[in-house]
Chain A
Amino acid sequence: MKPTAAREDLLRGLWKENPVLVQTLGLCPTLAVTNSVENGIAMGIATFFVLVGSSVLVSSLRKFIPNEVRITAYILIIATFVTVADMTLQAVVPVIHKQLGAFIALIVVNCIILARQEAFAAKNTVWRSFLDAVGMGFGFIIALLLMCSVREVLGNGTFLGHSVFGPNYEPWVIMVLPPGGFFTLGFMLLGIAAWSRRKNPKPLRARPHAVTMQTTQRAVV
């Protein structure tokens, strides 16, 4: 394998095929836990760990997993890693674990992870799957950081608990409430669409939802 291919595997997830901002996968955690930077970072790291772990395991077992039950096998592998991540967070950062609550368990149904297993890890070598998972995991962390920085700074006037605008700032409370999540991500996606249109008048953006639906459809049938 050429070194350029390895670089491509690694860098693809960061921006060009960013799981959240371009493929619009994994929106539930992106919206639900990004009301503070702390939560966003914890969620990003937990998802990163689960994604890398299950990608490596799935790709090393890809010759042994029968095609008919592969999705069940993937889900079980992912659920195992999520249980590990859940217990680790509970032991290391109990406060954040409490704030994230059920959303750590919901990493299991994060479509980013299942999509990477089905689309990449199941067909490629362990090393390439590892690189791909690291790239996609960092892409997810970048998207979460963007979201939670905007929301915490505007909605609370703080960044990681430190005051940004000084004591006279009137917090824009709606940004840390649920509607703020929808608005932030919505405007972010609109901005990206407008930007990629300016760069390339006829964007060849895949219909991400069509792809997800097809994948899950094939998976379950």
Chain B
Amino acid sequence: MGDVLWIFVSAMLVNNFTLIMFLGLCPFLGVSSKVGTGIRMGMANIFVLTLTALSVWFLNRFVLGSAPYLRLISFIVVIASLVQLVEMAIKKLSPTLFRELGIYLPLITTNCAILGLAMFQTSRGYNFGEGIAFALGGGLGLMLALVLMGSIREHLELAEVPSVLKGVGLVLVLAGTLSLAFMGFAGLFTS
């Protein structure tokens, strides 16, 4: 049980997907201008990450043992079809939620956090419970990073920034500062 908890906290804070491991930077830079969209994007991510962890565990356990060279191709196909399936299901079951998530859901297919999760889960040999903990922690960490960045950028809208500093460069410097802060969490587990 301790292991599972450790994996959860580590994926969320110590090895935050976006700020420490550089996964999922596209949504982090692209859709982090508001807190609300950050939360929605984060929820969509948590959902898909958990489902991916489930199916990756299944693939590793039952299918890929005999054909390891097909790993990458099968992961990418499974992720793409999973996102498509989830999208269709949500559209049918809850049109309100579908409208809320909007374009974020399909965009997740091309998010490297999802494939990254699948690869790390495989290379570290996580079992079922550990995989789910890794996915939930990683997803919450992504959401945390998106929300933090969103709130900073909401304030930035009102601040007087020299026009030459506006743009992706400034966001990256801010992300660096956040990343610096998150590195402090590395001390959580040394004692």
Interface size on B, as a range, is: 35 or more
Query: Knowing A27-B25, A179-B180 touch, does A111 contact B165 (C-beta < 8 A)?
Result: no
Per-residue CB contact flags for chain A residues 80-94 toward chain B (1 = under 8 Å, else 0) read 101100110000000
Stretch from A41-49, A56-64, A190-198 at the B interface: A190-198
Contact B110 A79 (CB under 8 A): no
Q: Inside 8 A of B176's CB, which chain A residues have their CB?
A: 179-183, 186
Determine if B80 and A109 form an interchain contact, defined as CB atoms under 8 angstroms apart. Answer: no
The listed residue (B25, B72, B106) touching A217 by CB distance below 8 A is: B106
A178 touches B179 (CB 8 A): yes
Query: Is B143 an interface residue when CB atoms closer than 8 A count as contact?
Result: no
Distance in angstroms between the alpha carbons of A193 and B163 in the assembled complex:
10
Residue in contact with A186 in the complex, picked from B116, B164, B170, CB distance below 8 Å:
B170
Interface residue count on the A side (C-beta < 8 Å): 50
Interface 9-residue window, one of A9-17, A98-106, A153-161: A98-106
Q: By DSSP majority rule, is chain A's interface helix, strand, loop, or mixed?
A: helix
Q: Are B22 and A32 touching (Cβ within 8 A)?
A: yes
Q: A86-B72, A212-B30, A220-B109 are in contact. Are A182 and B172 (CB under 8 A)?
A: yes
Contact check, A27 vs B19: say whether CB atoms are below 8 A apart. Answer: no
Type the 1/0 row for B165-182, where 1 means its CB is closer than 8 Å to any CB of A: 101111111111101100
B115 contacts the other chain (CB 8 A): yes
Q: In the complex, A181→B24 CA distance in Å?
A: 15
Contact residues in A for B20 (Cβ distance below 8 Å)? 178
* Nearest Cβ on chain A to B101's Cβ, whole angstroms: 13
Given known contacts A79-B76, A82-B72, is B172 in contact with A189 (CB within 8 Å)?
A: yes
Question: Could you tell me which A residues sit within 8 Å of B by CB distance?
Answer: 24, 27-28, 31-32, 72, 75-76, 79-80, 82-83, 86-87, 101-102, 105-106, 108-111, 114, 174, 177-183, 185-190, 192-194, 197, 208-209, 212-213, 216-217, 219-221
